[in-house]
Structures are given as C-alpha cells and as structure tokens.
C-alpha cells in the first residue's frame, strides 16, 4: 500500500466522535495498562510525561492504568498508583494538565483487585486479607474474606469518592474496571459470586454491586460526567470463561447497568474481530452496542499479530477494523500494547507511516517511555 492509500484507508479512524457526554477528536483510545511506575502509589513527572507523549501524538482519548480506590485491600502492588491521598491526587492533577495541554482527553480507570490480591504480593500492608463477594479467587478457591453488606457499602462509597475526585481534578470522565476477574467482575461471575443476598443470584442479580457503584457515582458527579464501564467475558487466569453464554444472557446483564447510568461500555476482548456467539459475525463490542444501545469501545490485538496470551494470529487486519467501524459495530477503538511500545503509534498510522511503528517487546514493558 502506498502512503496515500493507507491514509485513505484509515480515514474513518480519524473522524471525531460526539456522544451525549463526551466529544473525542478521533476514534483511538489508549487502553488502560498497569505500569507499576508509581512508587508509594504516587504518579510522578515520568508518568505525566508518558501520558502527555501519547496525547501529543494524536491519541484522542486516554484511559489511564488501573488506579486503586481508598480501601485497604484494593491493590496488589505498591507501585500501582492510588486514587486517594493528597500526593497521589496531586500527581494525577499534573497528568491531567499535561494531557490537556497536549490536546488529549483523559479518564482514570478506578480499580479494586478483590481476591486477585495474593499472599506475598509486594503491597505496603501485607497483613490485610483479600476480599471478594464470596472470598473466592478466579479458580474458585477460598483465598480471601467474603464481604459483609456494611463492607460493600464502604467500597461503593470509596468508588464514588474516587469519581468525585476525578471530576474535581479535571478528568474528562471516570472509568470502572469491571473486567478480567477483578472485584467488580468477581461479583458478575457465577464462579466467584456464590452469595444468596441481593448481591448474588442470576446474571442480573450479580450486577447489583456494580449498579450501586454506578448509582453512587452518578449521585456524586451529576448527570453530565461520563461513566465508562469496562467488561469482559474472559478472566485473567481463565481465558475461556464467559459471563454470558448467549445474547439473551448478555441482554439481561446489560439492562441493569444501562439503567444505573453507564454511558460507554469498554468491551474487553483479546481479538477485536472474533465473533462472540455462534451464528453471527458480531464481535463482543458489537453485541454490547446492539443490546445496550450505548456507544462502545472495542479492543484486542489492534496493530499486532500476537494476542495478550502470546498466541500468534495473522487476522489482525486494519481493513477489518475499519470495515467494522464503518458498519458502526463499535464507536471507539482501544489500542494497548502497540501504543505502550510506541508513543507515536497513532500519529504514524494517521500519516501512513505504519512501517515505522516500533514493535512491542519485553523491553517496552520494562521502560516507561
């Protein structure tokens, strides 16, 4: 492909998007990626420069790495940035300022790891036990404490406080990590949620924890601040897992979340082009858009031919991505590893210089650039 035909081909990716609550200058989102470069939980000047570099090179919207709410068991590593305490929030305020100066938008991904916290994790408070809906990890083993209703209420409030702080600091919205087998997803999934109170039960019942978080956030931030929810079928350490086995179950899952006030669903999958259910070519993001009526973000191996588990694929074609975007199967496209490896990735794609993009390697993860 010549540069001009490449630029023509990617034209759709660089069209602006206006949704009810947020406008973005193009369709490319930096996917949330934990980097462990915030000692003591405080994001410093290097973290601000890292995000600014992506904004300055045409990334329309950045969703930050997961950043933990104010709860003693929320984190599983002392270098994960927190989203509470004066020092960390001042650090985040600097990140926002720099990204805005560079012409980008930015939303923090607020997070509680639940029972993904393990004994021996390098945390500052190792004596605190992991918590979850039923104290079970993703394998179904009892490794933590089941939360009481009072403890759940405290965590809901901690999420709401983080969202209020995100708004106060100047972020363009708030994103909840409801995917990959962490706390919110542990409530969603039948293997990790065995509760018999109002937080358990069928697939709609298991959304109650997230529903209360979204409602509390909405109360704290008002009607206009965008709330993004990341969801996934798969779990870290359980890639074949599914929350919803068919479109009917997915619809039952999404309805309470839409009603609670989610504005955008960030639909995490390993490969953006894969059909989610038999009998239809629609991807996970495509199904979520169709069934929720909300704007959605797709993700999964964009610009790469190795998926997150290291499996090789030749199917990650930019033409397929554009075709699905043009068919309005999704609204936004998140890019993870390609953008971690190369801060100029979006600008190089925009100007037809895809052959100049830097590969994702082990060194990319070890460096914050």
Ligand X SMILES: Cc1cc2nc3c(=O)[nH]c(=O)nc-3n(C[C@H](O)[C@H](O)[C@H](O)COP(=O)(O)O)c2cc1C
Binding site for ligand X (CB under 6 A): 31-34, 65-66, 109, 177, 179-180, 230, 268, 299-302, 304, 308, 335-338, 365
Residue among 52 and 271 whose Cβ is closer to ligand X: 271
Closest approach, Cβ 8 to ligand X, in A, equals 23
Closest approach, Cβ 64 to ligand X, in A, equals 8
Residue among 55 and 285 whose Cβ is closer to ligand X: 285
Residue among 178 and 205 whose Cβ is closer to ligand X: 178
C-alpha span between 87 and 238 (Å, rounded): 36
Name the helix (H) or strand (E) containing 247: helix 247-260
Name the helix (H) or strand (E) containing 64: strand 61-68
C-alpha span between 125 and 2 (Å, rounded): 55
What tokens appear for 235 in the block? 């779990």
Clarify whether 50 is annotated catalytic: no
Measure Cα distances from 138 to 118, 208, 254 in Å. Answer: 12, 19, 22
Report the largest interatomic distance among the alpha carbons of the chain, rounded to a whole angstrom.
Answer: 61
C-alpha span between 215 and 237 (Å, rounded): 30
Helix axes 86-101, 45-56, angle to 10 degrees: 20
Closest approach, Cβ 149 to ligand X, in A, equals 27
Taking CB atoms, the residue at the shortest distance from ligand X is 336
Closest approach, Cβ 279 to ligand X, in A, equals 26
Residue among 244 and 299 whose Cβ is closer to ligand X: 299
Residue among 17 and 306 whose Cβ is closer to ligand X: 306
What tokens appear for 363 in the block? 């060194």
Closest approach, Cβ 32 to ligand X, in A, equals 4
Which residues have C-beta within 8 Å of that of residue 105, sequence separation ≥ 6?
22, 24, 60, 61, 62, 99, 172
What tokens appear for 271 in the block? 């490969």
Closest approach, Cβ 98 to ligand X, in A, equals 20
CA atoms within 13 A on the CB side of 253: 23
In 3D space, the residue among 58, 47, 54, 60 whose CA is nearest the CA of residue 16 turns out to be 60
Beta strand pairing call for 105-111 and 61-68: parallel
What tokens appear for 29 in the block? 């989102």
Beta strand pairing call for 332-335 and 28-30: parallel
Active-site annotation holder among 50, 182, 199, 360: 182
Residue among 205 and 300 whose Cβ is closer to ligand X: 300
User: Which residues have a catalytic role annotated?
Assistant: 182
């Amino acid at each position: 492909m010549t540069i001009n035909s490449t630029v023509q081909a990617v034209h759709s990716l660089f069209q602006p998007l206006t949704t009810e609550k947020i406008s973005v200058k193009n369709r490319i989102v930096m996917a949330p990626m934990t980097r462990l470069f915030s000692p003591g939980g405080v994001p410093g000047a290097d973290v601000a420069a890292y995000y600014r570099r992506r904004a300055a090179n045409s990334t329309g919207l950045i969703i930050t790495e997961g950043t933990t709410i104010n709860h003693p068991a929320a984190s599983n590593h002392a270098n994960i940035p927190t989203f509470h305490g004066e020092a960390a929030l001042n650090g985040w305020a600097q990140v926002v300022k720099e990204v805005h100066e560079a012409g980008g938008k930015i939303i923090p991904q607020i997070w509680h790891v639940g029972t993904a916290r393990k004994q021996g994790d390098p945390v500052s408070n190792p004596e605190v036990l992991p918590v979850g809906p039923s104290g079970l990890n993703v394998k179904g083993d009892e490794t933590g404490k089941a939360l009481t209703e009072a403890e759940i209420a405290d965590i809901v409030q901690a999420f709401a406080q983080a969202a209020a702080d995100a708004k106060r600091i100047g972020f363009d919205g708030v994103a909840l990590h409801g995917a990959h087998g962490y706390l919110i997803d542990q409530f969603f999934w039948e293997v990790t949620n065995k509760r018999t109170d109002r937080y358990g039960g069928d697939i709609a019942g298991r959304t109650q924890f997230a529903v209360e978080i979204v409602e509390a956030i909405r109360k704290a931030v008002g009607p206009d601040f965008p709330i993004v929810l990341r969801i996934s079928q798969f779990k870290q350490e359980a890639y074949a897992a599914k929350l919803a086995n068919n479109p009917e179950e997915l619809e039952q899952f999404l309805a309470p979340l839409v009603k609670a006030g989610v504005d955008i669903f960030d639909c995490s999958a390993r490969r953006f082009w894969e059909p989610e259910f038999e009998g239809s070519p629609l991807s996970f993001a495509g199904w979520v858009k169709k069934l929720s009526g909300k704007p959605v973000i797709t993700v999964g191996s964009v610009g790469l031919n190795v998926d997150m588990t290291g499996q090789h694929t030749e199917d990650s074609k930019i033409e397929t991505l554009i075709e699905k975007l043009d068919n309005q199967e999704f609204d936004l496209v998140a890019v993870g590893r390609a953008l971690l490896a190369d801060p100029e990735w979006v600008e190089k794609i925009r100007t037809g210089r895809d052959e100049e993009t830097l590969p994702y390697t082990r060194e990319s993860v070890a460096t914050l650039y």
